[in-house]
Amino acid sequence: MLKNALLSLALVAPAFALPAPQGITISDTIKQKPIQMCGVAQNVVLTDTPWIVYNMHYNKALTKGSMCTGYESVSTGANGLKKIKWNAVTDIEYVKATDNVPKGYTFVGLTQNLSTKLSAIKSIPASYTWTRTNTTAYKGNIALDFMIAPTAGDSTSSKAQELMLWLEYTGGQLPIGWVAGPKATISLYGTTWKLYQGVNTDTGITVSSLLPDVMFKGAWEGDVKEWLMALVKVGVFGQDVYVNVGNAGTEPFYGKARVEAEVALEIKL
């Protein structure tokens, strides 16, 4: 199951041809020291947690500069949920020809309880806190990214769907389907969101992105299942789909910046 989860995670980002996982380190939080990963698809799987920490620099060929992801530590909160501290460090030069191309995705992804029907999931408790310090103009987002499909494990066929929850975004980044305008307005997590939909022409996968009318500034908390059920309510998919991929991360386009973040994310059955 872990192998399938890794393959799915390697194909989650909305991009061009994606690299195969490289330099995978399987460890536990007692043995795993903080590590900074700058490889094209470098990652560490924390076997005593639900997570993989991943530096997915899938557009390295179009990048002038570097993108790195760091694992720092894991702790347990007062509510019993584990939290992971990680960071994303980018030093990507602005190039006009590629200023609208995401250079990669740095994230914490799920490895447990995936390929499960939405109807069988009790909850997906999550929290995401972050600070971004940039010393140049910066373009990018803070987001959650999930993938569902009618078939367990599918994250690559045109029947799969990518779901994005944009918490914060800057530099003029726009979601797929922006030109067509919002498909719906949804009330969720104490604010209203606009739903944008479109097909990623590189993958053939439909992407449904929720953008908040008022962006979150450094902190968000909620049950991810509420987001998925809100999309069920407006007809994006049904409860019989499988949740095959889930992660929280940041998607840089350009700029010199450091994101320090802490994430809690688990699927409860």
C-alpha distances in Å from residue 242, one per residue of 6, 62, 88, 247: 16, 33, 29, 15
**Sequence-ordered list of residues with C-beta below 8 angstroms from that of 235, at least 6 positions apart, any chain:** none
Task: Please check whether the domain covering 2-265 is classified as CATH 3.10.50.40.
Answer: no
Given a cut of 90, whether residue 88 has pLDDT beyond it is yes
What residues contact residue 37 under an 8 Å CB cut-off, 6+ apart? 23, 43, 44, 53, 55, 68, 69, 70, 71
Q: What is the mean pLDDT of residues 246-262?
A: 98
At residue 77, the pLDDT reads 82
Report the C-alpha dihedral over residues 13, 19, 25, 30, rounded to 10 degrees: -20
- Work out the average pLDDT over 189-214: 96
**Choice between 19 and 166, residue whose per-residue pLDDT is larger:** 166
Q: How many CB atoms are located within 10 Å of the residue 257 CB?
A: 22
pLDDT of residue 3: 31
Contacts of residue 269, Cβ cutoff 8 Å, sequence gap at least 6: 113, 116, 120, 121, 122
**Domains of the chain: which residue ranges?**
2-265
What percentage of the chain has pLDDT greater than the value 70?
92
Residue 232 — very low, low, confident or very high, per pLDDT cuts 50/70/90?
Answer: very high
The DSSP output letter for 226 is: H
pLDDT reading at 212 higher than 70: yes
The token duo for 205 is 């996968």
- Strands 22-27, 41-46: pairing is parallel
Residues 233, 118 contacting (CB under 8 angstroms)? no
Q: What is the pLDDT of residue 111?
A: 97
| pLDDT at position 100 | 95
Q: Which amino acid is at 85?
A: K
Q: What is the pLDDT of residue 21?
A: 60
**Beta strands 51-56 and 22-27, pairing class:** unpaired
Q: What kind and span of H or E run contains 228? A: helix 224-233
Q: Has this prediction a pTM greater than 0.85?
A: yes
Identity of the amino acid at 233: K
pLDDT higher at 268 or 8: 268
Residue-wise pLDDT for 18-35, tens only, equals 455 667 889 999 999 999
| pLDDT band at 62; cut points 50, 70, 90 | very high
